Chain A
Amino acid sequence: MSKAPRGGRRKAYYLFHRTVGTTTAFLGALVFFTGAVAVFGHELDHWASRDRTAPELASLGPGVLDRALATALAARDEAAPDSAASDDAADEETTGPSALIYAERPETLTFAFVVPGEETRDFVDVRVPEAPSAHVERATFGARAEANPRGTLESFFVRLHVSLLVEGKIGLLLTGLIALGLLLLLGTGLYVHWPRRKQLTKAPRRGVRQWLGDVHTLVGVWTLPFSFVLSVTGAFFSFAGAILIPVMIVVAFGADRARMEEVLRGDLPASESAAVASLDAIVRDAGTRAAGAELGRLRIEDWGGTSALVVTEFFDLDYSLRSARYAYGGRDGSFLGERPFIGARPSVGGTLISWVAGLHFGNLYGLATKLAWMVFGLLACLLASTGLGLWAVRNRRQAPREGLFAQALAGGTAGLPFATGLAILAWAAAQGGGTKTAMALAFFAALAVSVVVAARLPMRVALRGLLAAGAAALLAVPFAGAAVTGGSPFALGIEAGRVDVGFALLALLLGAAALRLPHLEGRTERDVMSFGETVEAAPAE
């Protein structure tokens, strides 16, 4: 019978930690960093469109919603008669159109009508409050977002975080595997670096190797619950769409996708009245039920049909776990009930999904948890960076090529703020068109430069330069934003001003880190790392 590697379980875990670390740490840091930015993606898009405030659905004034809906229906029937015909051709009980209603452009309500059997929608833009006419266009949500260069910041960082900009299921599988790799790194790392109580409160020692080792253990242990939760929930989100849901459809629903969608959507019984409900009245009623929450969008289903339904969806930015979706009969406007996050009625599984979403997106308790998530996300990047740095220092003599590779990757993680800042500057420069391409090019070019710089220069010099470059790029972002929107940076009275302050604080933090780095030099202690365990270092010179 074959035996475990010499040195037992600890060595086996250490070897695995090393292999998985060198292959996933850099991409893991990229995912964590872009996730930390994406936590404030909504605020970023507000920051980018501060001069183009969209109307609030809940305060449009009496009759505006109903008037806009009538205009949208007429315009859509005229411009896309094929969709209107297919509404009538559907089965007996469903005869009306379905649409999402939201506001994302100044003085405009958007109606995204479902085109049966197609991914595209008929988008109808109605100017409010007058609603005199409407503009109709058939497109996908992605194409619509692309056509609005101001609104691409959040989607860029979210797509980078979710799929590394790789289209389709491949991107999801890639980030899912990274999440699993991080999960394994946490498990094996905890076993290998099992900290003593003293290590958890001790300040990191001086000397590059000691400092890297101490900070790696310290940050790894203190952020363990966060990294664990993020890895598990991240793997869930990635694999659910890419592989798990298709498997579950086959096993749990006998390959009947429609049946699964019905269970997940949770259709509610509709009223049988012959009238058509007033959207304005429904929004007023929903607003009183969800006091304090922001009405994000409305959904109409089978409008004018026998089972017409209206669902109001509140995006409560302060507390996402509260269910704030109310269903109303589309004919008499009667309140049908509160809809849970998922499914037809409240369930343990629905609550679990709410928690998983809240824990992953960091919006459990408003700004406080979002800030905490951002800080923990940045610390997770530091964990990856110090791990790679440690690997580079240890291999400098024994395996120079591996050491150089790890050093280059460590530099890449240090270049993430620089890449982010440069991507936002590219966004500002490319407002004429092609923002997505410009941002991707700037981001990956900055990362490539960071990797090359880290490989060619001494680690300390490279890190110092990359952090300083990151600070400079982030400091320039508020001015670029102001140039795009025509306002002034750091206008503290508005939300965009607070975002500017956030960028400036991050820049200061990076600047301070760059200045502190020289203190790490000059201590060449003869410590030996044996399977992750630090043997007491010789006294410093």
Chain B
Amino acid sequence: MSRAKRESRRRWRRELGVVLATFVVALIVSASMTTWLPPGAAELDHVIFAVVGFPLVWGALAMALIGARRRRRAWGVLALVGVGALVPVVGSFFA
């Protein structure tokens, strides 16, 4: 396999990894938003803001990760954000 082809394949894998990882983290962040956003008068604001905000959260995370100068640190921050957002989600099951 030529060097260019190997590089192209590696890039594809990396880019797919970025898309999937940011998707999962954005999903966790959106789910956690329902636990700390105020529900509002109709008791649905927290859900609506979380659902509408999902593409924006994903876009911001993906842009930050793709353009990061220190890639490993960026992945670390992404993992921290995911774990941090997961805490209130897990907590909501025991509340």
Q: Which residues of chain A have a CB within 8 Å of any CB of chain B?
A: 1-4, 8-9, 12-13, 15-16, 19-20, 179-180, 183-184, 187-188, 191, 231-232, 235-236, 239-240, 243-245, 247-248, 251-252, 260, 263-264, 266, 340, 342-350, 352-353, 356
Contact = CB atoms under 8 A, between A and B. Distances in A.
B42 A352 contact: no
B77 interface: no
B63 A184 contact: yes
A243 B35 CA distance: 18
B87 interface: no
B52 A352 contact: yes
Contact of A236 (B42, B55, B63, B70): B55
Contacts of A343: 42-44
Contacts of A15: 11, 15
Given A19-B11, A179-B55, A346-B41, A244 B48 contact: no
Interface of B: 11-12, 15, 19, 23, 27, 30-32, 34-35, 40-52, 54-56, 58-59, 62-63, 66-73, 89, 92
Interface of B is mostly: helix
Contacts of B34: 248, 251-252
Nearest to B95: A254
Given A2-B72, A232-B59, 4 more contacts: A184-B63, A244-B51, A252-B50, A263-B43
A189 to B, nearest CB: 12
Given A16-B66, A243-B27, A247-B27, A1 B44 contact: no
B54 A264 contact: no
A419 B72 CA distance: 46
23 contacts: A4-B67, A4-B69, A9-B67, A15-B11, A19-B15, A184-B59, A191-B67, A232-B55, A240-B51, A245-B51, A247-B27, A248-B50, A251-B34, A251-B35, A340-B42, A343-B44, A345-B41, A346-B42, A347-B40, A347-B44, A347-B45, A349-B48, A353-B52
A248 B62 contact: no
B50 A188 contact: no
B79 to A, nearest CB: 16
Given A184-B62, A356-B52, A349 B15 contact: no
